[in-house]
A and B are shown apart, each in its own frame.
Chain A
């Protein structure tokens, strides 16, 4: 990330210096402002879902959810702590229901629970890939945009989209199994 980020940014800055030097500061500051705006929007989203998750935790709803996914979690991640398993189940449920916003805070919580080294373990890699390739039942943003631009049938992309995400999920999980092997059975 260090090399990629620096190389791309320096290349872009050199090109900008040649073509349009006075725009550089504006572009950079606009980008930081955009990041701040995104972070604030994320705060609003996390606020709602972390609050709701906390209630669900305290009334043992999360535990019940986690029990439903025990087998799948074991197969994907191997033996993980109860806390991690709760977060992972929340994450999976959010993804399946198409609430990507709710999937993020639970994934972050799971990663903070498990990952303590500089090197990402198999668990983090699997969780990341599962989220990056998650099956999408309804791509709501895209359908909404299509409808607003006057598409004759905005939702006719649901089927190809579903198939495409199933393909990427299967390949993604398979690749993690190939790269990292099966999860360790014992702790």
Chain B
């Protein structure tokens, strides 16, 4: 798997050369667009990070987690990983920090640790991705897109906890 990226890079460059494309100019032309793209994403990221970090700093998140833990337990999700599932849609780096905490506190190879691993691997930072995708477009109303993705995160989390029990 370590070879996927290098092979793709070499393949595209060499193929471009064979097809007599000006590889260097094309690369620069494409790369030029990267700055505009991330510049349009930046304010959305800032808004997202401010919300998440204020929430964590205020300690309100602990109460929210305590409040929603019981229904998650009914679905078979241990309360130790609820915080991870809750923060996951908002922040990739934040949820990675929580995952590390879970590993250190409960052990990497424990049931909880494995649950957390699969939850992390099978879910997506939905709100983060939405802000990145729709930044710079006129899209304001995203309809069912975010609810469906969030629901899939939930299903993935529940499935993760079940699968870790049997596998």
Contacts and interface: CB of A to CB of B under 8 A. Distances in A.
Do A and B interact? yes
Interface of A: 5, 8-9, 11-13, 15-16, 19-20, 23-24, 27-28, 30-32, 34-36, 38-40, 42-44, 46-48, 50-61, 97-99, 104-105, 107-108, 111-112, 115-120, 124-125, 128-129, 131-134, 136-142, 145-146, 149-154, 156-157, 159-161, 163-165, 167-168, 171-172, 175-176, 179-180
Contact of A120 (B60, B99, B114, B139): B139
B86 interface: no
Contacts of A145: 96, 99-100, 103
A35 B45 contact: yes
A173 B156 CA distance: 14
B136 interface: yes
Given A39-B38, A55-B16, A105-B37, A117 B159 contact: no
Contacts of A157: 114, 117-118, 121, 164
**Majority SS of interface residues in chain A?**
helix
Closest 8 CB pairs of A and B: A54-B30, A139-B121, A46-B34, A35-B46, A160-B163, A51-B31, A164-B122, A15-B58
Contacts of A160: 114, 118, 160, 163-164, 167
B126 A132 contact: yes
Contacts of A55: 12-13, 16, 21, 23, 26-27, 30
Contacts, number: 304
Contacts of A32: 46, 49-50
B75 to A, nearest CB: 14
**Majority SS of interface residues in chain B?**
helix
B4 A98 contact: yes
B74 interface: no
Contacts of B100: 145, 149
Contacts of B103: 145-146, 149
A164 B59 CA distance: 31
B50 A58 contact: no
A50 B109 CA distance: 39
B65 interface: no
Given A50-B33, A54-B30, A139-B120, A112 B137 contact: yes
